[in-house]
Amino acid sequence: MAPGGMPREFPSFVRTLPEADLGYPALRGWVLQGERGCVLYWEAVTEVALPEHCHAECWGVVVDGRMELMVDGYTRVYTRGDLYVVPPQARHRARVFPGFRGVEHLSDPDLLPVRKR
């Protein structure tokens, strides 16, 4: 358990969702897809730098750990409990650190590829 009684991993009902193919071996994620978007539960084992890119609108929260997010040229560090928004098609990049866990709601239901089981 983490400080405050929070578990150090996502619960089993999250980890049994379809696994996202995030393109980095050090990142794991699980996807809940619906008609109007998808929810990504993701975590980092080691530090990972995601290159600049853009996509549909995104709203997220840092569950644990730390993430550095640059949106439209402005960089900010987010830690446990911080909320963030990436506007639609905004150029952004991120760096997540070991122990990071986050939850994101993306407005595009087909944005994240799912690994074949």
pTM value is 0.90
H helical segments located in 30-89: none
- Dump pLDDT digits (tens) for 14-60: 999 999 999 999 999 999 999 999 999 999 999 999 999 999 999 99
Domains recognised in the chain with CATH numbers: 15-106 (2.60.120.10)
Is residue 49 classed exposed, middle or buried when 0-12, 13-18 and 19+ CB atoms within 10 A define those classes?
exposed
Measured between alpha carbons, how far is 71 from 58 in angstroms, rounded to an integer? 12
- Dump pLDDT digits (tens) for 45-100: 999 999 999 999 999 999 999 999 999 999 999 999 999 999 999 999 999 999 99
Residue 6, pLDDT > 80, answer no
